[in-house]
């Protein structure tokens, strides 16, 4: 797969705060790319620079073959962006919001009607078209935000905390739509999220800390590098678990053992087969990875002296 986003040596300061500090990474065409960090780590600053809403201090950005310094208009044509906060006009109807946005891309008349029909079917908002956006629920408004970003069939969809505050059913609906678009249109998705189960489904993950890359890799690579495996053991007493000589925690109806990796788990099970009659092995989670890499939990802001002025 070719690179569709190439960022090299990106820097951005706000006074004394080095919000983005020598950032370099690649995004492959068609992949789900997760860009993670606590509030203030530099995620939104990077996105705003990519979209032309902020100027960079130095470094280079090439998106779908277009250099940010030479062809920002070309970059914007290929991007669809769903920002953390809705940019819809609350006083206008859903139809009017989408029609005015589509006109900016020259999508008018029958072309707009056709695209509106496609998106309303995809995101299930046909019954909302004449309602004022200000009267919509959070989940309904998010569907319209995504429709707005998809009007011009972008090559890259940037999702900045797209599902924060949504109920599980709406979150699942949005992800089903995004998965379908990735499959049918080879659309690249650039995601920031506080939901680590969403990051766990990514093809590649970059973790930011204080404007710098603290870790990167596939979810499996990161789990193997920064967490161990866990064995949940059922139907035994604590004396038997204690005899294994490994760290464990007591669950409601089981014991959870911590081991360095799958090989260590296998060795322990084979050596004590009489104890391991009913058990399961699981990898560490992306939450564990994030905590190990940054020392923080996702959603926790940087302290003032860590320089986290902006996300």
- pLDDT, position 162: 87
H or E segment to which residue 6 belongs: strand 3-14
- pLDDT, position 310: 41
- pLDDT, position 233: 96
Q: Please list, residue by residue across 93-103, b when 16 or more beta carbons sit within 10 angstroms of its beta carbon and e when fewer do.
A: bbeebbbebbe
| pLDDT exceeds cutoff 90 at 96 | yes
| pLDDT exceeds cutoff 90 at 300 | no
| pLDDT exceeds cutoff 70 at 306 | no
- Look up the pTM and report it: 0.86
The answer to whether residues 23 and 206 touch, using CB atoms and an 8 Å cutoff, is: no
- 277-286, pLDDT tens digit by residue? 999 999 888 9
* Cα 137 to Cα 201: distance, rounded to the nearest angstrom: 27
- 31-77, pLDDT tens digit by residue? 999 999 888 889 999 999 999 999 999 999 999 999 999 999 999 99
| pLDDT exceeds cutoff 80 at 303 | no
| pLDDT exceeds cutoff 50 at 290 | yes
DSSP letter assigned to residue 54: S
| pLDDT exceeds cutoff 70 at 92 | yes
Burial of 307 (0-12, 13-18, 19+ CB in 10 A): buried
- pLDDT, position 302: 46
């Amino acid at each position: 797969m070719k690179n569709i986003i190439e960022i090299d040596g990106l820097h951005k300061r706000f006074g004394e705060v080095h919000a983005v500090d020598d950032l370099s990474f690649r995004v492959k065409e068609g992949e789900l790319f997760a860009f993670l960090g606590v509030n203030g780590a530099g995620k939104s600053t990077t996105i705003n620079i990519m979209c032309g809403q902020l100027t960079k201090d130095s470094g280079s950005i090439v998106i779908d073959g277009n250099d940010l310094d030479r062809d920002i208009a070309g970059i914007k044509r290929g991007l669809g962006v769903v920002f953390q906060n809705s940019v819809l006009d609350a006083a206008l109807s859903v139809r009017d919001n989408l029609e005015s946005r589509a006109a900016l891309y020259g999508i008018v008349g029958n072309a707009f009607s056709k695209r509106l029909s496609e998106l309303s079917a995809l995101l299930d908002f046909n019954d909302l078209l004449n309602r004022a956006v200000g009267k919509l629920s959070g989940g309904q408004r998010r569907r319209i935000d995504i429709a707005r970003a998809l009007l011009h069939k972008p090559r890259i969809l940037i999702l900045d905390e797209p599902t924060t505050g949504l109920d599980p059913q709406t979150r699942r609906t949005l992800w089903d739509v995004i998965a379908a678009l990735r499959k049918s249109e080879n659309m690249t998705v650039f995601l920031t999220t506080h939901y680590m189960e969403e990051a766990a489904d990514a093809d590649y993950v970059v973790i930011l800390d204080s404007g710098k890359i603290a870790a990167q890799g596939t979810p499996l690579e990161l789990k193997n590098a920064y967490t161990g495996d866990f064995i949940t053991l059922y139907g035994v007493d604590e004396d038997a678990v204690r005899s294994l000589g490994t760290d464990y925690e007591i669950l409601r109806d089981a014991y959870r053992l911590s081991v360095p990796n799958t090989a260590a788990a296998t060795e322990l099970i084979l050596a004590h087969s009489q104890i391991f009659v009913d058990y399961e092995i699981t990898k560490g989670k992306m939450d564990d990875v994030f905590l190990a890499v940054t020392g923080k939990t996702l959603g926790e802001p940087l302290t003032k002296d860590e320089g986290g002025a902006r996300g």
